[in-house]
Amino acid sequence: MTYPYYKKLFDGKEMPYAFIDLDILKENTKQLLIRSHNKKVRLATKSIRCRSILDTLFKESDQIQGLMCFTAPEAIWLSKQGYDDLLIAYPTVHPNHLEAVAKEVKKGKRIYLMTDLPEHLQRINAAGTKMDVCLPVCLDLDMSSKFPGLHFGVHRSSVASVDGCKRYLSALNDCPNVALKGVMGYEAQIAGLGDNVRGQSLKNSVVRRLKAKSLKEITKRREAVVALVKAEGHTLDFVNGGGTGSLETTTKEDWVTEVTIGSGFYTSTLFDSYLKFRHLPAAVYAIEVVRIPDEDIYTCLGGGYVASGMPGTDKAPSVYLPEGASLTKNEMAGEVQTPVVYKGSEGLHIGDPVFMRHSKAGELCERFNQLYLISKGKILDEVDTYRGEGKCFL
């Protein structure tokens, strides 16, 4: 895409605004589904945070089924809007939230709660007993690798082995109002860690070697845990794995029934740096040039939408268009002012847009109430984000 294309399309619109390029979203979806092979795809709502886009993606292909939510209040809200097959990816522990989930399950909705500790199971069992319903849960299997002096992965689940799974299953036996219906293993160190970062060739080669080493053991771990769960008589609705960055490897595991995808649809900048794939930027925001303090410096209003995670320049937004424009090292993208260095030929003036990309996909939607939807040179619609619907979950 080019600077003049987007500039003309949004001529006269007030800034800042954010948009989804539906033509690019379609192309990304096509490529992501190819990368998913024959696995069912569950949408990671945290990386999308807009119901209209979720609906668009469901319409794209039958391969896309089910949502991976990030909190119980979100899953309950979506359930009430008519969505079903909702996996809450992180533990829910407040009794009010658990009872609200139980109410939806009692109505016949499929909402899976994430668990790994006996305390999770006990709290869910208490809510299930109170509401007189059996609640479906998913076991979160830790997929990190422990190398000498290095924890390669994330700190989430306490169940990291077959023995750990045995202890979990024994705690489950004491919870008659809980049914184990899913297993999830999210290999964050493969799916969420770039291995082709520009200017870091040495680090990239280390990361690639660590990924290869980790993969050897975690695939066996997931296979063994799934086999144990099944041998113990639990009938699973799904075995979930992966994310945008791991589709090539997660889909190789026969015992995995579905993969999760979120960030790849919008393709925020953190997903530009993988060796195995390259998707295109579909989610963009525009900020307005309001000052020209020096030659080749164009200072814009706002723009500093920094992503969560370990602070670093990779969490800052990036200038997308005009091509060749960049942030300054000292100021980067600011709360109220963002200076952009540009020496190219587009001829930036006061009131012109500068197009930016967020580093993380869904967090962009926490900064905007609406998204423009565009296709083939036209604005087709303006739709609410979660925020625009008055919803702020995390």
Q: Which spans of this chain sit near ligand PLP (rule: CB under 6 A)?
A: 44, 47, 89, 186, 191-192, 243-244, 260-264, 361
Nearer to ligand PLP, 41 or 327 (CB): 41
Residue 152 near residue 189, CB atoms below 8 Å: yes
CB pairs under 8 A, 24+ apart, for 165-169? 165/139, 165/141, 165/225, 165/228, 165/229, 166/228, 168/115, 168/116, 168/118, 168/121, 168/139, 169/228, 169/229, 169/232, 169/234
Q: Which is nearer to ligand PLP, 164 or 192 (CB)?
A: 192
Q: Mapping DSSP to helix (H, G, I), strand (E, B) and coil, where does residue 2 land? A: coil
Q: How many residues does the chain have?
A: 394
Check the CA dihedral 188-190-196-201 and report its sign.
positive
Return the closest-CA partner of residue 147 out of 185, 202, 184, 189. 189
Nearer to ligand PLP by Cβ, of 172 and 191: the residue is 191
Q: What's the closest the beta carbon of residue 188 comes to ligand PLP, in angstroms?
A: 7
Least gap, CB of 330 to ligand PLP (angstroms): 31
In the complex, the smallest distance separating the C-beta of residue 266 from ligand PLP, rounded to whole angstroms, is 9
**Measured from the CB of residue 316, what is the shortest distance to ligand PLP in angstroms?**
19
Closest contact distance (angstroms) between CB of 87 and ligand PLP is 9
CB closer to ligand PLP, 189 vs 370: 189
Q: Supply the minimum distance, in Å, between the C-beta of residue 78 and ligand PLP.
A: 17
Is the Cβ of residue 186 or residue 372 nearer to ligand PLP in the bound state?
186
d(CA 171, CA 298): 61
**How far out from the chain centre does Cα 366 lie?**
13
Q: How far apart are CA 26 and CA 137, in angstroms?
A: 33
Distance CA 238, CA 256 (A): 8
351 CB neighbour count, 10 Å cutoff: 9
Long-range contact list for 328-334, CB < 8 A, 24+ apart? 328/297, 332/304, 333/303, 333/304, 333/305, 333/306, 334/302, 334/303, 334/304
Residue closer to ligand PLP (CB basis): 105 or 361: 361
**43-47-49-53 Cα dihedral, nearest 10 degrees:** -60
Classify burial at 166, counting beta carbons within 10 Å of its beta carbon; exposed 0-12, middle 13-18, buried 19 or more: middle
Which CB, 171 or 270, lies closer to ligand PLP? 270
Closest CB to ligand PLP: residue number: 243
* Burial group, residue 366, by CB count within 10 angstroms (0-12, 13-18, 19+): middle
128 versus 245: smaller Cβ distance to ligand PLP: 245
Output the six-digit token pair for 371: 């998204």
- Orientation angle between helical segments 162-173 and 118-131, nearest 10 degrees: 30
To the nearest whole angstrom, how small is the minimum distance from the Cβ of residue 243 to ligand PLP?
3
Give the DSSP H/E element, type plus range, for residue 43.
strand 40-44
At its nearest, how many Å lie between ligand PLP and the CB of residue 18? 18
CB of 361 to ligand PLP, least distance (A): 6
Determine the Cα–Cα distance for residues 371 and 387; give it in Å rounded to an integer: 11
Closer to ligand PLP by CB, 69 or 325: give it.
Answer: 69
275 or 380, CB closer to ligand PLP? 275
Least Å from the CB of residue 169 to ligand PLP? 21
